Structure formats: structure tokens, C-alpha cells
Amino acid sequence: MFGLSKLRLKRHSHPVFVEDEPLAPKPVRRVRLRFPLLLMLSLLLAGWSYHRAHAETHHAMNEQVVLDAVEAGQLLLKSEDDSHFITAVTQASKVHIKVSGMVAHVSLEQTFRNHSQHWVEGVYAFPLPDKAAVNRMQMVIGERVIEGTIKEKAEAKKIYNKAKSQGKKAGLVKQQRPNLFTTKIANISPNETITVKLEYIESITYDQGRFSLRFPMTITPRYMPGSPLPIEDHLQFDDRRPLHFTSSALGWAMNTDQVPDANEISPWMSPDLPTETNPINPITLTAELDMGMPLQSIESAYHNITSSRQGNNYQVRLSEGSVSMTQDFSLTWQPVIGNAPKAAIFSEQVKSEDYALLMMVPPVTKTSPLAKEAIYIIDTSGSMDGVSIRQARDSLLYALDQLGPQDRFNVIAFNSTTDMLFGRAVPASKDNLKQARRYVSRLQSGGGTEMLPALHAALKDRAPEGFVRQVMFITDGAVGNETALFESIHQQLGNSRLFTVGIGSAPNSYFMRKAAQFGRGSFTHIGRVSEVRQKMTELFTKLNNPVISNISVRWPNSKNIETYPSRIPDLYHGEPLLVTAKLSDLQGDIVISGQTADENWQQTITIDAVQQHSGVATLWAREKIASLLDEKITGRDESAVRKDVLSVALTHQLLSPYTSFVAVEKIVSRPADKKQNTAPVLNARPEGQGPQSFAYPQTATGAMQSLLWGLLFLITAFAFRFCSHKEAEYELVG
């Protein structure tokens, strides 16, 4: 027993062991069990909230930023209270492709509707083929058609901004990359429908006896290396309220010293996946093929198509009518055996100037393959998540199987860091290949896309005497610093040859093709796992056959002639020669010559009746612009390049890095007392790609609100602990 006269408090020295008999042991046990549970829940919530907020800030600050898919999309509007977003859904996208000979004329229509009750400026980004010559833009609003004109980029921007501030409807289309464009539409009224029409011309591809073309529907997320620029460099729009911790309404990424336009090439992404009843960015597509010859087959690798024929004219359409824009459209057709072209010339006369497009397939020669030193680079970054990493692993495993005992090899994997399987290339022995297969099979995706260190590691060595050095680069090309990578390849290539293998539903074809061009190699695209064996077999057929080099073309009356590409690249097995020319007279013989490892060859083409084709002059201008831009990579001053590009682009009315289309309606639409908000673009992610949650639209207050809730619970838990301390950790002792 104890008496009240001896009542005193004694602090426990341990939260579990009791020194004296407790006054009320059961309540103490309940309190002590509740507190750890409450504390654990609070910590988890606070930690999750912090991680969410930190992840958003982390991506916005571009410590390891990836650009998500870019495609024709939906307008995204912010609600009045900033609590959620309202989408203005794309009503329809429509594409018609007309192919005649080696020239494709493409018309693209994208229709948007503003579902909000506010005046908005629509901003959207979309991909086109990287060799597309965009030569027309129209904006259709109701029954009104606003024709776009080409202007120097700064002038076009000034015209657009003035019209926007005056309340006039205006459109601006500019090129961010050769395969990525941005359009702004000012003063869209509530519930109004806008249709943007673009037209472009491109040459089709002929390889391994098959014709093909691609229409990009989405772009794989791009990584933005470098340090963030000051926040002032990101203020581009009138509405500067933060979206996802960025100050621009267009994109979630911040500009960096290596990618100064990152914000403009990082549009928002839809978190939803398309379904039959709820498609994302639906598109209808039709094509017309007029090849002047019977076709054996017409196929699309990734979409179901239906075709019909009228003589030698073929019509193609999507079987489903419309599909979600989640994977590039690819169309391939093959002539009936015996009808495959050996050479063709297409011409067009514009303002007394003759323009020509020459296509010729060199003769196939055979030789014994040389021993090779093969360096395989594989991209394991976060943008490869999903089916892409499987395609990459399978492609590399197939490549390893093609090595013979006379060959040497190494494997380089990269994401945020670079990892080499061996310190240097090793013989393709059974044990080394077994180790390599085990290494490749275990590769997983994650992290950034730091390509430069991997390229440095692959290109730093030279081929031993008697070996051909081949570097195979397996990647989705998801980077924003393409120019720096091209410069590195140009400077370091040496006697190596670089072959790019594009992986995924929508690789960055511009990077893949240009990297192969500067690497004196070729580009292969693999869109699905089922294509790995076929596409890799075709690639190794090229690698194991002699290269035709030192190619020259002697044109008739060759005075005052201008041809592009100015330096004809080497040709691999099955690849055609494709050259554009501007000349004063197109009569006589064309003499083409080249060299293989064992012999010289020469072929003469006599020009008789030349087929007239609209668009040849535009293709020549596009090739000249591309050639001029390449001179920046090889060291020419950019101001000189800019001057020459402007001259060509303005003369031929083409989009370029230095020109933009602008269209302005004369009448004022928006009342002066009505505010205009900027509406960014919502995009779908490529088919098969893992989620990229950092690019999903969220208000900046959403993450902060979650963080505050987590901190509130944490504070409550500690307050509860403090209060229960006095009741449960002290006892009455007599």
C-alpha cells in the first residue's frame, strides 16, 4: 500500500520497462501503440508529399529533365481557382498524302475547339518528318480563311504579338527542330472552333527495293541536359501564373545553358491511355500512290489499312477510320518484280530555272567481309521504359549473335552515367560473348540520357590494322541537345562509322538520321519487338557488303549548277543515290561514278523526256537549307549561315530556324475589356511507353497543399506525443 502523504512523480528511464508499479498500465499501452502508428502515417504522408513537390521542382529545375511526347494535341485551360484544368479537345486531325514518283505532297488539318467560357491564346506543338519542306499555312475560323505568309522569325513574332494585343485573331507557326514545330493562335473566343492547315513536300525513301514514308504522330520524351537559366529567361507569356513550378504556360521544363529552348519543346502530357470509346487526339489518314508502275504489296507496320486500285493509282486509308495519335504511321510499298526502278529523273521549271531530282540505284557488288571491331552503345534511360528497352535488348543480343571469332567488340550502356562492359574491345570469344549476353539481358531502364560521355567512350579509340570499326548506337534519340552531339560525332569519328538504330513507337528521327550522316553510317528504325530480326538482318546485310564511296555526278552543261547534298554521302547495300540540282539546262548525259573496296564503277544516264513534277524546286531549297545548317556543325559562323538560309527560305516561302509563318485577321475580335489566357497543349504518350508522371498537368498549389497536409499531420502527431508524455510516461509513486 502507499499513502497519499508520500505522493510524488517519478520519470521513467525507459519507455518500455517500468521501474515501479504503474498506476494505469492498460491506457499507457494503448497510447504507446497509437503514437507509433500515427507517427508512421504522418511521416509517410509528409514524405510522399515532399517527394511529389520535390520531384516537380526537380524536373522543372532540369537536374535531370526529360521532354515528353510531342504531338498534335489538346488545348489545356486553367480553371479560375487554379484547382484543376479544362481541356479543349481536338475535334479532328486529318492527313492526306499524295505520292507521285519520288515526291510526296502532304496536307495536314488540325481542328481545335475552345470549350471554355474565356478568350484564350492556344499554343500547341506537333511533329513532322525532319525533311519536310513546309511551304503553306492557313488558319480557318468559321468561314474565314487566314492565309499565312513567311517572315523573318523576329518580324513574324512582332507582327503576331501586336495583333494579339489588339484583340485580332492571329496565328504563328515556327520551327523548333527540323521535326518539331510550334503554333500559337491568338484570341480564340469561347466555344469557337479553329482549324490549322499545313502543307509540306518531302521526298520518299527507297531502300532494299521498297518505297516508304513516315508520318510522325508523336515524339518520345526528350532529356534536357545542362544548368537551368535564370527564371527571367522563361517569362514568355502574358499570363505568368506558375504551372507545375514553371513560369511559362507552354512547357514544364526550364531552359538550360545546353537547351535554351527547353521550355518551348516540353509540352504537357495526358495521363490517360486511349480506348476505343475515348481516343486521344483522333486522326484520319488517307494516301494516294501514283507510281506509274504496278505494285506487288502495300503495307503499314503499325496500323491496319485498306487499299484499292484504279490502274496504277492506289488509294490507302486507315481501316478503323480514325485512330489515336500514339505511334508514327509507316507506309511501305513494293513494285512488282521486274518493275523496280534503276534510275529516274524528275524536274520542275520555276521562273526560268530548271530544278532536278535524280534517283539512281548503284550496282550490287560482292566482296569478302573484313574483320570488324564492333562497339555497341545501348540507351537505358528513363525514356526507354516500357517496350523500348525490350526492343533495345533484343536488338543488341541479335547483334552479338552476328559476331564471328575473327571480330572484336565491346558494350557500352548509358543513362545518367556510362558503363563499359570491358575496359576496351575484346575478342569475340565464346566466354566473352556469354558474359556480354548475361550483361545485356539484365539491363533495365531508368535515369537521364547523358549521351556525350557514351559517345566519347565509343569514339575515342581507332580500329586496329586489318579491322573495320563499326559503332552501333541503339537509342530513342530522346535528347534536346542534338547540335552538341552532332559536333562531337563530327570531331571524334576518326576511322569509325556510326550506325543508329531508332527504338520505340516514335524515336527522334531527326537525331537518328543526322547522327548517322555525320557518322558516315545509316539509320534503322525498329518500332516493335516483332521487327527486331527483320530490321537487324537488313542492317547487317548493309554492314557485310562493300560501301560505295567517292561518288560524283557530272551533269550536262555543268556551268552554274548547284547540287545538294553538296558532298554525296557513301552508299550502303540497297541504298539509292538521291541528288537535287538547280541548273540552266537539263539536256544531255549524266555521268555517275564511284568506288568500292575492289573496283571503280561508272554509269551514264541519257536524258530524254523528263517527267515534270511539282515540288522538285521546293525539295532542292529544303536540301540547300539543310546543307547550310550542317555548316554550323563543321565550324562556319552562325551569322553567315543565317544570312544564307534566310535568302533561300524567304525566296521559296519555307519554314526554317530563322523564318516563321504568320497570319493576321484584319478585324478586331476580342473586346478590350476581356482578358485572354494562354492555353498550353496536352499530348498523348507514345504507345508502349511507361508513365511520365512529372509531365502530367497539375497546379503548383496541388503539390504544396499535399506537403502542408503532411506537415500538419506530423505536427499533430508530435503534439499528441507531447501531451501523452505527461500522462503515460509519468506515474504516481507513494
The rounded distance, in Å, linking the Cα atoms of 386 and 383 is: 9
Domain boundaries, the chain: 4-60+715-733, 67-206+230-274+655-700, 341-364+553-652, 371-543
Strand segments, DSSP code E, in 246-364 are: 268-269, 282-290, 295-299, 305-310, 313-318, 323-324, 329-335, 343-350, 353-360
The whole-angstrom distance between residue 345's C-alpha and the CA centroid of its chain comes to 33
With cell 566473352, the residue in question is 432
- Using 50, 70 and 90 to split pLDDT, how confident is the model at 560? confident
The rounded distance, in Å, linking the Cα atoms of 115 and 138 is: 22
Q: Is 224 helix (H, G, I), strand (E, B) or coil?
A: strand
Tens digit of pLDDT for each residue in 376-432? 999 999 989 989 999 999 999 999 999 999 999 999 999 999 999 999 999 999 999
The rounded distance, in Å, linking the Cα atoms of 500 and 527 is: 14
**C-alpha closest to that of 193 among 111, 284, 94:** 111
Residue 648 cell numbers, joined: 533561300
Tens digit of pLDDT for each residue in 597-654? 778 888 898 887 677 789 999 999 999 999 999 999 999 999 999 999 999 999 999 9
The rounded distance, in Å, linking the Cα atoms of 227 and 481 is: 13
Kindly report the backbone phi and psi dihedral angles of residue 97, in degrees, each rounded to the nearest multiple of 5, phi listed first.
Answer: -115, 125
**Beta pairing partners, 43:** none
Q: Is 575 helix (H, G, I), strand (E, B) or coil?
A: coil
| Residues ≥6 apart with Cβ < 8 Å to 660 | 150, 151, 153, 156, 157, 172, 173, 174, 175
> In this predicted structure, which of 473-477, 484-488, 607-611, 632-636 has the lowest mean pLDDT?
607-611
% of the chain beyond a pLDDT of 70: 78
Tens digit of pLDDT for each residue in 339-386? 777 888 899 988 888 899 999 888 776 666 678 999 999 999 998 998
The rounded distance, in Å, linking the Cα atoms of 425 and 436 is: 12
**C-alpha closest to that of 654 among 157, 102, 151:** 151
**C-alpha closest to that of 213 among 202, 222, 198:** 202
- Using 50, 70 and 90 to split pLDDT, how confident is the model at 687? confident
Tens digit of pLDDT for each residue in 92-120? 789 999 999 899 999 999 888 888 888 88
- CATH class given for the domain over 371-543: alpha beta
CA atoms within 13 A on the CB side of 296: 10
Kindly report the backbone phi and psi dihedral angles of residue 85, in degrees, each rounded to the nearest multiple of 5, phi listed first.
Answer: -120, 150
pTM: 0.82
CA atoms within 13 A on the CB side of 51: 7
Tens digit of pLDDT for each residue in 218-261? 877 788 899 988 865 444 433 333 333 333 446 777 899 999 99
